[in-house]
Chain A
Amino acid sequence: MSKLKIRVDQDKCQGHARCKSLAPELFELDEYGNAHEVGDGTVPAGLEDKAWLAQTNCPEIAIEVTEE
């Protein structure tokens, strides 16, 4: 399987926090509750489904998932 990378678009994120709830290993929240990808956004093997789940549940379509 190819490697996935995630990125939260800071202009779009409104802090719904769905990603953090669905994939806590991949996202973290700042003091205002807005989301950021953990580290450089590389999705560890085995967490690919969670990355897609977060992406498809973000109401603002703020999460980009790219295949490397």
Chain B
Amino acid sequence: MSDSPSASYLPEHPPVTDWVHDFDHTDPVWTDDPFPIWETLRAASPVVHTERFLGCYMPTTYQAVKEIAYDTEHFSSRRVIVRDVRPEISARAPPITSDPPEHKPAKQVLLPPFTPDAMKRLEPRVRAICNELIDAFIADGHCDAAARYTKHIPVRAIAHMLGIPEKDGDLFIKWIHQILELGIKDENEMMSGVREMTGYFMAHLEQRKLEPGDDLISQLLRAKGPGGQPLTDEHVLGSLRLLLIAGIDTTWSALGSSLWHLAKTPADRERLVAEPALIPTAIEEFLRAYSPVTMAREVMKETTISGCPVKAGNMVLLSFPAANRDPAMFPDADKVVIDRKENRHAAFGLGIHRCVGSNLARMEMQVAIEEWLKRIPDFRLDPAGKVTWSEGTVRGPRQLPVLFGKNA
């Protein structure tokens, strides 16, 4: 955000005047409302290019995004964030930063703890977390739903899974801000976040080696790699880094966008209050229309995507959010249709890198929306407040002032 406190010491990018040939996903215009920009880019070409970020492509159609997501031969995941710089690759986060053949064994270790059945066991704790949070502000008749509600649910859920104190959540949020937002333009911020996080988890690793438990850190330490040997500390740390970075502001964002939509759309809100069985379908539509996560790839070998030549050495901004707004794939792509029946959205990615936490995210969203609507069925955006959106790779409201109860 141009008015966020962090903006003052970030190197400024020149404002964009030609989106088709000079796009920039950190431009304040994009941050505020990317949808018309994507429409312009899609109308121009299935793949566009910018000289910013040391050279970067962006597929603009569902088809082009899908071609790249499925093509691990020409497109590597070793860098998954488009930044101003391309620092040496030091802090890996398998399997998100892995390519075949290393990818599959690294992912298989993480899949069993995140199945829908495993998430059912976590659900009661998440429901309790939601209600504890609501208890703290419901009497006020107003709150910043991003700061008081959506932000804390994924942090506490992940902390609970990892067996670490839920109160350490503020630390996690700080590191994620350094890595995903400030880190786009400031390598030192990114490295400092990664270093602190690694130190924190190293201490927990050592402690679990002495006193193993049932938590996810202990499970990873017990897990066996492809050759039957235990995972290295570096691998476990990388996967923990991934769970934290990928599991928190993503769901925070998806939840925030869902509540933002419901706050400004009384008809949809009233329908979900009257028909709670429709909530899972509505959540899929929120995930499509307000997909939070944009990934990246690095072009390793020259190839062609949807007829467009793509050259090695460039990054790719892999915008699942833009793919999900492609009218060639979704009728009324720009409308939020909460009972949309056919919805092959790609909010959790396509191909081998399908988000390992998708079942967790869906459970958190369902529980958080259900509990909110049960206790706060009537709410609206606070006209005196301002909704602000995160910059960069993960998009969602960071301030979401709403009125309810006596103020509804």
Q: Which residues of A contact B (CB under 8 A)?
A: 14-17, 20-21, 29, 31-33, 53, 56-61
Contact = CB atoms under 8 A, between A and B. Distances in A.
A30 B280 CA distance: 22
The A interface is mostly helix, strand or loop, or mixed, namely loop
A23 B358 CA distance: 18
A20 B116 contact: yes
B352 interface: yes
B344 A57 contact: yes
Given A14-B351, A16-B354, A60-B350, A33 B114 contact: yes
B342 interface: yes
B87 to A, nearest CB: 30
Given A32-B108, A33-B111, A59-B350, A21 B116 contact: yes
Contacts of A59: 344-346, 348, 350, 354
Interface string B108-120: 1001101111000
B350 A29 contact: no
B341 interface: yes
Contacts of A58: 344
A31 B116 contact: no
A31 B112 contact: yes
22 contacts: A14-B350, A14-B351, A14-B352, A15-B354, A16-B348, A16-B358, A17-B115, A21-B280, A31-B112, A31-B115, A32-B111, A32-B115, A33-B112, A33-B115, A33-B116, A56-B341, A56-B344, A57-B284, A59-B344, A59-B345, A59-B354, A60-B350
B343 interface: yes
A17 B358 CA distance: 9
B359 interface: yes
Contacts of B115: 17, 29, 31-33
